[in-house]
């Protein structure tokens, strides 16, 4: 009770004394009692691991990366790490980003080949270099310097998916699928996916990590939102953490995760902040090739957010789910949706 009175009066003090800068409200500084984590729906196990690790005293950013590790190692998840879907040339390239709220430091890798745990390499970039982002061959050399083992990441399942795409994505080339030898086959629907984990420990320190194999069958060299700070992942230790999955290009042009954190800084609840950033995505989507017949974005974007005090939420353009771990245990629940 005493702490609450103190935090309210400190807040009013800030608002009343910082003239002109009082446009934002400092989120309540309620001391959080239990670590929490939020993730994309493929992160149910990840949030459990992240919270367990934070309870053992592991910093939130490391806990998020430890949560992501089994998903990166899982060949059945074709959106992340080992078994991820390749680029248009059949090469698996991975992107990841980590950010630590306490130090304000971040690390990222993009277009990394042959290393299945890019989020761990991103942690090394954060801790062992003065840089934030390493790409391509430089990222691979750096990972090998740190003892990461090179391996083929393209599984048979991902290779078959890629071949199916090669054979069916266009009527105007010489690749033909067996089905097409009758009539032109069904259009191949590209899968998307990524994992983001936002984590806040019992002290209110925040960390976030995002890892992906990126857009399936992308043009070689394409980098999405996941490894870009402020896009697929962002942390402000005074506010909270946010991240995204879905169409990276839409998140990059809006600096999505940074926007979500900004809205929380303005006093919005996490889910409302995610919805506000999604409205910005809609506002920025003008090209007709990106709109459906009702004028809405013809793609999906998800945002996930945790506030420093442990409040958490998620929202997507279209119905979707997210994983969360609070005192109530791990759950995968519906996110708020901007459209039906």
User: Are 93 and 112 contacting, i.e. CB atoms less than 8 angstroms apart?
Assistant: yes
**Burial (CB count within 10 angstroms: exposed 0-12, middle 13-18, buried 19+), residue 147:** exposed
Neighbours of 211 (CB within 10 A): 36
Q: Are 80 and 212 in contact (CB under 8 A)?
A: yes
Nearest residue (CB) to ligand ASP, 155 versus 192: 192
CB of 217 to ligand ASP, least distance (A): 12
Of 101 and 214, the one with the shorter C-beta distance to ligand ASP is 214
Per-residue contact string for residues 189-218; x = within reach of ligand ASP by CB under 6 A: ---xxx-----------------x-xx---
Which stretch, 25-33, 82-90, 112-120, 219-227, contacts ligand ASP (CB under 6 A)? 219-227
- Determine, following the binding rule CB under 6 A, whether residue 320 of this chain makes contact with ligand ASP: no
Instruction: Name the active-site residue from 78, 93, 192, 194.
Output: 194
194 is catalytic: yes
Tokens describing residue 82: 């080992």
Q: Least Å distance between CB 247 and ligand ASP?
A: 6
In the complex, the smallest distance separating the C-beta of residue 113 from ligand ASP, rounded to whole angstroms, is 16
Q: Assess 233 for contact with ligand ASP (CB under 6 A).
A: no
138: Cβ contacts below 8 Å, ≥ 6 apart: none
Question: Of 38, 33, 31, 34, nearest to 199 (Cα)?
Answer: 38
Contact 224, 212 (CB under 8 A): yes
Residue 108, φ and ψ in degrees, nearest 5:
-155, 155
Residue 245 binds to ligand ASP (criterion: CB under 6 A): yes
Considering only 41-49, 157-165, 245-253, 288-296, which stretch makes contact with ligand ASP by CB under 6 A?
A: 245-253
**Stretch binding ligand ASP (CB under 6 A), from 104-112, 133-141, 176-184, 188-196:** 188-196
Instruction: Decide: residue 333, CB within 10 A, 0-12 exposed, 13-18 middle, 19+ buried.
Output: exposed
Shortest separation between residue 174's beta carbon and ligand ASP, angstroms: 29
The region of 12-20, 63-71, 242-250, 332-340 touching ligand ASP under the rule CB under 6 A is: 242-250
Outline where DSSP puts E strands in 259-326: 301-307, 312-316, 321-326
Instruction: Tell me which of 84, 198, 224, 262 binds ligand ASP, using CB under 6 A.
Output: 224
State whether residue 73 is helix, strand or coil: helix
Q: How far is the CB of 27 from ligand ASP (least distance, A)?
A: 27
Can residue 81 be called a binding residue for ligand ASP (CB under 6 A)? no
Q: Does residue number 226 form part of the binding site for ligand ASP (CB under 6 A)?
A: yes
Q: Where are the beta strands (DSSP E) in 117-261?
A: 133-135, 195-200, 206-212, 233-236, 240-246
CA pair distance 312, 292, nearest whole angstrom:
31
Residue 269 Cβ vs ligand ASP, minimum distance, rounded to whole Å: 24
Given 84, 86, 207, 246, the residue binding ligand ASP (CB under 6 A): 246
CB of 253 to ligand ASP, least distance (A): 12
From candidates 248, 270, 297, 330, binder to ligand ASP by CB under 6 A:
248
Return all residues near 146 (Cβ < 8 A) that are at least 6 apart. Answer: 121, 124, 128
The tokens for 32 are 């959080």
Q: Which is nearer to ligand ASP, 106 or 257 (CB)?
A: 257
Q: For 30, which DSSP code? A: P
Between 302 and 326, name the residue whose CB sits nearer to ligand ASP.
302
Residues 6+ apart with CB under 8 A from 203: 32
Instruction: Give the footprint of ligand ASP on this chain (CB under 6 A).
Output: 192-194, 212, 214-215, 224-226, 245-246, 248
Instruction: Cite the active site residues.
Output: 194
């Amino acid at each position: 009770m005493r702490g609450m009175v103190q935090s309210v009066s400190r807040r009013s003090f800030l608002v009343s004394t910082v003239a002109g800068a009082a446009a934002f409200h400092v989120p309540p500084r309620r001391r959080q009692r239990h670590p929490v984590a939020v993730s994309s729906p493929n992160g149910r196990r990840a949030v459990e691991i992240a919270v367990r690790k934070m309870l053992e005293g592991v910093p939130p950013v490391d806990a998020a990366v430890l949560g992501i590790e089994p998903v990166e190692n899982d060949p059945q998840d074709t959106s992340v790490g080992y078994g991820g879907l390749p680029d248009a040339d059949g090469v698996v390239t991975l992107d990841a980003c980590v950010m630590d709220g306490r130090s304000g430091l971040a690390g990222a890798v993009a277009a990394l080949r042959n290393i299945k745990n890019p989020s761990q390499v991103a942690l090394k970039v954060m801790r062992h270099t003065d840089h934030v982002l390493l790409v391509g061959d430089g990222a691979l050399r750096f990972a090998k310097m740190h003892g990461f083992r090179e391996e083929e990441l393209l599984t048979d399942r991902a290779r078959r998916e890629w071949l199916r795409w090669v054979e069916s994505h266009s009527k105007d080339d010489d690749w033909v699928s067996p089905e097409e030898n009758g009539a032109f086959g069904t259009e191949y629907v590209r899968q998307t996916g990524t994992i983001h984990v936002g984590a806040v420990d019992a002290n209110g320190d925040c960390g976030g990590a995002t890892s992906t194999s990126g857009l399936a069958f992308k043009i070689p060299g394409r980098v999405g939102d996941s490894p870009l700070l402020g896009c697929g992942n962002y942390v402000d230790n005074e506010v909270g953490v946010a991240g995204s999955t879905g169409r990276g290009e839409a998140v990059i042009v809006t600096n999505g995760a940074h926007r979500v954190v900004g809205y929380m800084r303005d006093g919005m609840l996490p889910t409302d902040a995610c919805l506000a950033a999604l409205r910005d995505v809609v506002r920025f989507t003008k090209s007709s090739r990106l709109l459906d017949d009702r004028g809405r974005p013809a793609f999906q974007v998800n945002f996930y957010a945790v506030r420093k005090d442990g409040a958490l939420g998620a929202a997507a353009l279209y119905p979707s789910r997210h994983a969360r771990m609070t005192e109530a245990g791990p759950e995968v629940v519906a996110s708020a949706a901007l459209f039906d």
